[in-house]
Each structure stands twice: as structure tokens, then as C-alpha cells.
Structure 1
């Protein structure tokens, strides 16, 4: 799982990383928050932060026994 915020200055670098993983045949889930800043998940008052925590929880539950 790779999380990208739309206003993250490293957005392009993260997107390239996702593509490199896919080219190597690695399974990767891209989670994009187009209105988010870098590190938005560290601020619980940002609504997308809670959404991401839910997505991470579901991701872990789906992949814990893989």
C-alpha cells in the first residue's frame, strides 16, 4: 500500500515508486487523496486522516495471512 496526497511535494516520486513495483510484478495498492497534504494522516482533525486509518485497517486485515 502506497499513500499519496495530492499536495505532497513528493507525489511524483511516490507515483514512480508504484510504477516500479508494478513493473517488477509486485502487488501494490495505490491510495490517493487528491486534496491531502504531506503527512496528513498525522493530524486526526483532518477528515481524510480517519478515512486512511480505516483503509489501512482493512488492508492489513486482507493481507495479514498472505
Structure 2
């Protein structure tokens, strides 16, 4: 079975936000029961890639401008 997922996240605030730190947990992993054929994460700037304490692949996005 092949799955294709298209996801978009947008935030709207009443006043402009000057700084934001986001921990994104949306990157799929190739595991014994699944294989990632293609993957793309589009961000407004570079995100640091890490694994959290539970082994989840995360992208940390730090935006320091409005």
C-alpha cells in the first residue's frame, strides 16, 4: 500500500510575533514495517534536525524575526 500525505501548518496571531521556536515532529522514518520513498519538508529557514528522548526524528525551527 502506498500513501501520499500533503500537510500544511499555518499560525495566525492578533499581533506580529517577533520570535518563535517550533519542534516539528512530522518527518516519517523508514522502519521494519514502513519505507519512506520520498519526503520533503519546506520551511521558511533552515531547521536543526535532532532525535528527541523517545527516538522521534524532530526538526527544530528557530525564527528570530517578525
Alignment TM-score > 0.5, same fold: no
More strand by proportion, 1 or 2?
2
TM-score normalised according to structure 1 size: 0.24
Structure with larger Rg: 2
Greater length-normalized contact order (CA 8 Å, ≥ 6 residues apart):
2
More helix by proportion, 1 or 2?
1
